Structure 1
């Protein structure tokens, strides 16, 4: 569902500085977050390595640029950003160190880095089972486009999960690389599986996503599911 995550929206309202700021959305995807930041009055530059994503963002009214944050070709006006936002993009970035070095170079002193991320390696077997079982049910109900369950030994949910995400950067690696370059001012674990499933929902509702969020949050609170997302704010010092 191509809608702004209202839980992310609430969090950004808490952590972003007041007043118009010069913001880089690094890995803007289809532009939902950049559009929201623009609506709030920020001066936003949005980039993504995917031409398809850039075209979708432009169609949504976001003047996105195709660029790789690791080298940032095609854009450099000599000024720095007050805020850099990376939403669900850092775990895809390779090489991670070069990208974060470039982020540091583009951020002004005392500037704010905001990271919203997927911690695939924090998932355990229970998380994989819940994710695939929920996806299968929604697919059977005709409201999601989820791959069918695998049969035989290769259908083990934990193995299936690992195989699907092994090329993603682990959460601990991202956090360590951030801590080497910035002063981390907050780090909190968050539900993420509901967002992952929500990206595959084709005929659902906000109420459905909110129910998934509530259920996952309750399972995290009672210890039957781990958190598989995290949110960081950090300063360049």
Structure 2
């Protein structure tokens, strides 16, 4: 669990709800089915038009990584790579076949299998880099789902406010309804700007950071496998791989 993200969500809610209470508007002022319909449903409608279904669904699956990002024990991975290097230098690449069978990560397993099969370093790099780039592109598209929602939500909030003011103008003859109507009109603006800047855009930024971290780990792994294939000294491999995480 990412405690910082959890704290951010909690503080965002406190900022909006607490601010409304401290300003004297109260919690009730933030409750508006009409504003929710215009802003949230409108934002979903816009992102549905903006994004292919497969990308949207992938983005929704990625959302959990904001609170539960994948953890990478880079120190342990470097030690494993160095261990594989030592085995390969002493017993040959075929000795890593047991590591292939025991590996659960598909990407690592694929790279080790190529080592055992005696693939050339250039072939290992080109095949694995294509997989890394493809995965990175897909994950970034998923993160951009929330970025798109952060772009559309404020505009929908303005539309909601304008629609609310239009309703107010129809009741100019009844001054008792003006104050309540104007307040309700601006709730949509709060929904739009608040959801974009407190949730959607920060989520997109966090997911992009997670994707970048995953890509860096995979690039380090590729470099390690190439170094093993070329028969480099385990100490040199360790020094090289640690440079990825200074």
- TM interval, shorter chain, is under 0.3
Structure with more strand by fraction: 1
Alignment TM-score, normalising by the size of structure 2: 0.25
Q: Rg bigger for which structure?
A: 2
Alignment TM-score, normalising by the size of structure 1: 0.26
Q: Work out which structure has the larger RCO, using CA pairs closer than 8 Å and 6 or more positions apart in sequence.
A: 2
